[in-house]
Amino acid sequence: MNFAQYVLRRLALAILSLVAASALIFSLLRLLPGDIAETKLGVGATSEAVAQLREDLGLDRSVFVQYGEWLGNALRGDLGESLISEVSVSGELANKSRVTLPLVLASAVLSLLIAVPLGLLAALRSRRLDGTALSVASQLGVAVPSFWVGVILITVFAVNRNVLPAGGFPEAGWADTTEAIRSLVLPVATLTLAQSAVLTRFARSAALDTLNQEFFRTARATGLTRIRALRVHGLRNSLLPVVSVLGVQVSTLVVGAIVVESVFALPGIGQMLLQDVAIRDFNKVMGTLVVAMGVVFIVSFITDVIAGILDPRTTKQ
């Protein structure tokens, strides 16, 4: 299998996975207790009014018909309208993503920039005190829940020091750039600490494996220092597991964003999703989850392609 075939195969797998996942979520949402028609009309609604609204919303049709219609519209870029507010789901997601997207992207980039150097350093100094300390710190970072880290950061930097806001987002949005950035500093730090701890563990493990390889010992025998030998001959092998794990960790970042947005009262996609689940606005929940999964599958596809570039042997599998 050549590289182009490998890329097309991974792309087809990502698309099929997204369609299958959307069908499963659509079916599960319809199995949840409660009736959106009753929720929308209120407790005093008559059974005739509820039945009429269900018909108007298309909820009286079979799940297969409803999903087929939804999928056809989604392929045209139309995720439907909110069953409660009747606003465009796509428009709401675009509006809320102005908070969530910078939060997730900044956390992912910072996690990678922090984790790779620390993981390599922890591997190179594994038998020394500082290397052991880095390893222990990363293990603690993996074990500590994100919401607890968020609470600690709020207590230290917002309550005690009063240098950063404890939560919220400016009403003017990114038009007020300074305040928007300040409001995301603590949430980004919360997500970054958790993600960088995980990636550091993988970077350290991959680097330790590289240090024990025959080619690395040969490079050292030519007179190269451990750091230079790792940078010149072992960095690609060390990065491969980190890149692969980063693709998986994106889903963790999305879930973590939901928790972090709740802790810091950010008006993002995660906060919106929790509210929509509570009021059973299935159209918005469906659209939100499918877009989130789409992002995960796209990043997974990109990391597969990068892995194929770093190690051409993966394209033969």
Q: Integer distance in angstroms from the first to the last C-alpha of the chain?
A: 8
Length of the chain measured in residues: 317
Non-local CB neighbours of 29 within 8 Å, separated by 6+ positions: 282, 285, 286
Those residues whose C-beta lies under 8 Å from the C-beta of residue 140, and which sit 6 or more positions away, are 197
Whether the predicted model's global pTM rises above the 0.85 cut: no
Q: How does residue 35 score in pLDDT terms, banded at 50, 70 and 90?
A: low
Q: Of 97-101, 190-194, 213-217, 296-300, give the lowest mean pLDDT range.
A: 213-217
Report, as an integer, the average pLDDT of 12-25: 89
- Residue 234 is predicted with a pLDDT of 63
Separation CA 209–CA 200 (nearest Å):
14
For tokens 């991959």, name the residue: 206
Q: Considering only residues 111 and 254, tell me which one the structure prediction assigns the higher pLDDT.
A: 111
C-beta separation of 247 from 302 below 8 A: yes
Residue reference for tokens 């796209």? 298
- Which of the residue ranges 52-61, 123-132, 186-195, 303-312 has the most confident prediction, judged by mean pLDDT? 186-195
* Contacts made by residues 122-130, CB under 8 angstroms, sequence distance 24+: 122/200, 122/203, 122/204, 122/207, 123/203, 123/204, 123/205, 123/207, 123/208, 123/210, 123/211, 124/207, 124/211, 124/226, 124/227, 124/230, 126/204, 126/208
Q: Would you tell me the crossing angle of helices 146-153 and 177-211 to the nearest 10 degrees?
A: 130
Q: List the domains of the chain with CATH numbers.
A: 9-75 (no CATH), 90-316 (1.10.3720.10)
CA 106 to chain centre: 11
Q: What is the pLDDT of residue 167?
A: 86
- Nearest alpha carbon to residue 213 among 238, 246, 194: 238
Rounded distance, CA 260 to CA 193, Å?
12
Most confident range (mean pLDDT) of 31-40, 41-50, 59-68, 98-107 is 98-107
- Region 305-310 average pLDDT: 76
pLDDT in tens, 113-153: 888 888 888 887 877 888 788 888 888 887 888 888 888 99
CA-based nearest residue to 262, from 244, 275, 252, 249: 275
CB 81 within 8 A of CB 87: yes
What is the residue-averaged pLDDT of the chain?
Answer: 82
pLDDT given at position 42: 67
Backbone angles phi, psi at 44, to 5 degrees: -90, 5
